[in-house]
Structure 1
Amino acid sequence: MLIGQLSERTGTSRRLLRYYEEQGLIRSGRSLNGYREYEEDCVDRVLQIRGLLDAGLPTRIIKQVLPCIDTPRAIHVSGATPETIAALELERDRMTERIRCLERNRDAISDYVAAVRRGSAGTAPVEAA
């Protein structure tokens, strides 16, 4: 399939697909006229990449993980190296810290909104600390 078809089927821009190719995450062949041609299984591969990116993994880690994925659209790791496992654990720990930070920020915003609502409901406005 051509890059436009892959783009439509995965909801991924052509520019991102070319970037994934530059990073070694997907491969394409070339037709006689020089157009990129992708195999059918590339659809699942792009969806896997998108899911891993959405989970917060950087492309350098995704490149290590992709060879360990056995089934399209699911992650069943087999044969992961100790380096890959260590990199995944590090990314997991970074995600956990980002989640904690986001939760603190969410709670602070919630507290602020609640204070503003109390202030606009006829009570005295809350002073900044």
Structure 2
Amino acid sequence: MRIGELARRAGVTTKAVRYYESLGLLAPTRLTNGYRDYDEHDVRLTQEIRALCHLGLPVKATRPFLECLALGHRHADDCPAALAGYRDAIDELTQRIEGLTARRAVLVAHLHEAAHRNSRFSPAKGQGHEVTG
């Protein structure tokens, strides 16, 4: 099948398919006229990449999942390397959440400090904002 049909069936753009190919995640055969020729396995791989990206995994991090399918497993996450990919994504999210939580705490502290310093000034009626944490 041609790239447009693969993209349509997998729910991605042709640009995404070309990107996946440039990363070595897809390896279509070439017809004598130079056109790419994709098969059902490529549809499955492309759908898997799309699904994993919707979970928040970067495209490059889908490789262990695709390799698991290439080994003949029914599910892309039946291999230890795929499970490690989930763990890595969870660890990265945890770090981001912790970083955002720390930033939020600093902002709340600055807000409370500024509000306390400015509490001696009474805001015009109807113009005050309650400070909450």
Q: TM-score, normalised by structure 2?
A: 0.64
Structure 1 gap ranges (5+): 106-123
2:93 is matched with which residue? 95
Runs of 4 or more above 2 Å deviation: 84-88, 95-102
5+ residue gaps in structure 2? Answer: 105-125
The answer to whether the Cα contact below 8 Å between 1:61 and 1:88 also exists between their aligned partners in 2 is: no
Residue identity opposite 1:89 in structure 2: R
Task: Please tell me the root mean square deviation across aligned C-alpha atoms, in Å.
Answer: 3.0
Report the AA paired with residue 39 of structure 2. Answer: E
- Corresponding residue of 1:127: 129
Pick the structure with greater CA Rg: 2
Aligned length: 106
Q: Secondary structure at the match of 1:77?
A: coil
The whole-number CA distance in structure 2 between the counterparts of 1:36 and 1:126 is: 64
Render the CA deviation track for 1:44-91: whole Å, top value 9, x for unaligned. 1111000111111112321122212422xx44413x35xx65454221
Matched, 1:66 2:60: no
- The amino acid that maps onto 2:57 is L
Amino acid paired to 1:90: D
Q: Structure 1 75/8 Cα, relative in aligned 2: closer, same or farther at 3 Å?
A: same
Number of the residue aligned with 1:55: 55
Q: Given that residues 31 and 37 in structure 2 are in contact (C-alpha distance below 8 angstroms), is that contact kept between their aligned partners in structure 1?
A: yes
* 1:77 corresponding residue in structure 2: 78
What is the alpha-carbon distance in structure 2 between the residues aligned to residue 127 and residue 5 of structure 1?
Answer: 56
What letter is aligned with 1:127?
H
